[in-house]
Structure 1
């Protein structure tokens, strides 16, 4: 566990003996150490993917991401979409983790169904064409018909 210093500032006032007015502000700093938990981005991806039936990691300007989101919408599935470019700090961390997970330079779109990695657009479209996507969605509880 790592520790991070959190500084708090308390106000201290000093008076002059001649006028009696408060005039000098002197900050007094005390340090408290609070434990911070650093979460591995791959663990964060797994946790986010397990929270909903269908999870898509996407970039808002990516045409392939748009196509995957449109496919699920046209099937009546309401996926949870994480637009990585809308979170400049964690989005980049998650994108790098997805590149490691997928083993290729283009990380998005990445689709999880029922907490399990399905893959990128080619895997999703392949599953849709060969008829295995609908049973996956039904098993995950994302599709009822």
Structure 2
């Protein structure tokens, strides 16, 4: 879907999320804690939300939300993000997007 491609390429770190999803919130907090302010696209506030959710599933996201993109590349959902974080690899992917404050 063009909207997913555009948003993920225009922003360094993008999370497709739902405002009512506690797992999405937890992933957002993780990124903020390591010093990254991701672009959050709440698909439940988007008229094309259902289509975005279907497109994310077709792209191979294990769960359609949260769907995390770093540098325009689909990283995956919560399981993939947490696996990368626990292995220490997530910070390497996020290094270009870390704020200078942290």
TM-score (norm 1): 0.64
TM-superposed deviation, 1:67: 0.9
Structure with greater helix percent? 2
Secondary structure class of the residue paired with 1:102: coil
Q: Aligned pairs, how many? A: 100
Q: What RMSD in Å do the two structures reach over aligned CA positions?
A: 1.5
> What residue in structure 2 maps to residue 91 of structure 1?
49
TM-superposed deviation, 1:103: 5.7
User: In the alignment, is residue 125 of structure 1 matched against residue 68 of structure 2?
Assistant: no
In structure 2, runs of 5+ residues without a counterpart are: none
- 1:101-120 alignment runs, 5 A limit: 101-102=59-60, 104=62, 106-120=63-77
Q: 1:76 aligns with which of 19, 31, 35?
A: 35
User: In the alignment, is residue 142 of structure 1 matched against residue 97 of structure 2?
Assistant: yes
TM-superposed deviation, 1:90: 1.4
Stretches (4+) displaced over 4 A: none
Q: Distance in 2 between matches of 1:50 and 1:121?
A: 20
In structure 1, runs of 5+ residues without a counterpart are: 1-41
Q: CA 1:56/1:103 → structure 2, altered by over 3 Å: closer, same or farther?
A: closer
Q: Deviations over 1:29-80 (max 9, x none)?
A: xxxxxxxxxxxxx222111101111000001111110110010011111000
Q: 2:19 aligns with which of 60, 64, 76?
A: 60
